Amino acid sequence: MIKKNKLTLIITSIITLLPCVFGLIMWDKLPNTMATHWGVDGNADGFGSKLFAIFGLPLIILAIMWLCILISAKDNQKVDQNNKPFRLIMWIMPTISCISSAIIYSFALGKEINVNLILPLLLGVMFTAIGNYTPKMKQNRTMGIKIKWTLENEENWNATHRFGGKVWFYGGFAMILTALLPTKIMIWAVFAIMLPLVFAPMIYSYLYYKNQSKNGTYEISNKIKPLSKKGKIATIIAASLILCGVAVLMFTGDVEVDYNDDSFTVEATYWNDLTVKYADIDSIELCENADFGMRVGGFGSARLLLGNFKSDSLGKITLYAYTSSEDAVVISVDGSKLVIGDTENQTAAEIYAKLSPLCN
DSSP conformation letters of 163-186: HHHHHHHHHHHHHHHGGGS-HHHH
- Calculate mean pLDDT across residues 112-123: 76
Residues of the domain holding 350: 255-358
- The burial of 246, by beta-carbon neighbours within 10 Å (0-12 exposed, 13-18 middle, 19 or more buried), is given as exposed
**Looking at the structure, do residues 273 and 146 belong to the same domain, yes or no?**
no
Among 191, 226, 248, the domain boundary falls at 248
pLDDT beyond 70 at 97 = yes
How many whole angstroms from its chain centre is CA 17? Answer: 21
pTM confidence score: 0.57
**Looking at the structure, do residues 161 and 202 belong to the same domain, yes or no?**
yes
- Positive/negative CA dihedral, 304, 309, 313, 315: positive
CA dist., res. 130 & res. 151, Å (int): 19
**Looking at the structure, do residues 165 and 19 belong to the same domain, yes or no?**
yes
How many whole angstroms from its chain centre is CA 239? Answer: 17
**Residue 169 has what pLDDT?**
93
**Residue 2 has what pLDDT?**
65
**Looking at the structure, do residues 220 and 343 belong to the same domain, yes or no?**
no
pLDDT beyond 90 at 222 = no
Residue 123 contacts residue 175 (beta carbons within 8 Å): yes
Question: In residues, how long is the chain?
Answer: 360
**Looking at the structure, do residues 104 and 212 belong to the same domain, yes or no?**
yes
User: What tens digit of pLDDT does each residue of 281-320 get?
Assistant: 999 999 998 888 877 767 778 888 888 888 888 888 999 9
- Kindly state whether residue 1 falls inside one of the protein's structural domains: no
Q: Which of 131, 132, 134 lies closest to 157, judged by CA?
A: 134
**Looking at the structure, do residues 103 and 204 belong to the same domain, yes or no?**
yes
Percent of the chain topping pLDDT 90? 24
- Calculate mean pLDDT across residues 271-280: 88
Considering its fold, how many domains does the chain have in total? 2
Residue 118 contacts residue 187 (beta carbons within 8 Å): no
- Calculate mean pLDDT across residues 159-171: 93
**Looking at the structure, do residues 173 and 315 belong to the same domain, yes or no?**
no
pLDDT band at 46 (very low <50, low <70, confident <90, very high): low
